[in-house]
Amino acid sequence: MKSLSEIETTVKRASKAAGYSWGVSEETGKSIRLLELFSLPGIKHLNEYFNQKNKSKFENLNIISENNSLLNNPYCPITLGVSFLDQITVLENLKKIEFKNVAYPIIFISFISRSSEIIGKKIYVKIDEKKILLNLNVNISSNFIDQEFPKIANSIEVNLLENEDNFTDNEWNNLYKLSEETFVEESDSLKEGAAGAGLTDND
């Protein structure tokens, strides 16, 4: 079994050989490593993309807006991913971002997952009708994890979620009230010990 560091290094070198800069190649290595860590087909789709890249034309998107659409050639998932990663602190204010016609979207997803960690927020993604939740780069959950990922996404919708508790105030208050039973009331002996605890006069 290949180690994650071996995967990252090989992907970085292969990406450079495929025509990307060392900087972009390094980011691609980190992203594919992430997919393989989560048992997602990063190496498989990257191989297919590089093979297709020599035969077809893919478009680069350097400045991302709320609506990003191409009618002819699909977007390159690597350039798109690096742009998203670089611009995430600005894109965070948009809340929802849409893309049309993206090649090998699983590669793009890995960059979005890393962006989730940067802003400290969960990101909800829809690839056509399939749903993915990216949780601060800690995990990727999906309703099609056992299905084949598409090679072309007709539509990708990215929603940046606000941080909210997953419980009600009443549920929290009940739990906190129970926790108060472990609180120790401060006694006179504790106060005296705290005033000079651990100090010894050796003079």
Phi, psi of 195 (to 5 degrees): -65, -35
* 98-107, 118-127, 161-170, 189-198: segment of lowest average pLDDT: 189-198
In the chain, where are the structural domains located? 4-160
* pLDDT attached to residue 74: 95
Judge contact between 58 and 74, C-beta under 8 A: yes
Dihedral Cα 120, 121, 125, 130, nearest 10 deg: 100
Strand partners, 103: 152
Question: 25-73, pLDDT tens digit by residue?
Answer: 999 999 999 999 998 999 999 999 999 998 999 999 999 999 999 778 9
Question: 127-162, pLDDT tens digit by residue?
Answer: 998 899 998 888 787 776 667 889 999 999 999 998
Q: Which of 76, 83, 84 is nearest to 105 (CA)?
A: 76
pLDDT over 90 at 185, yes or no: no
Largest CA distance in the chain: 86
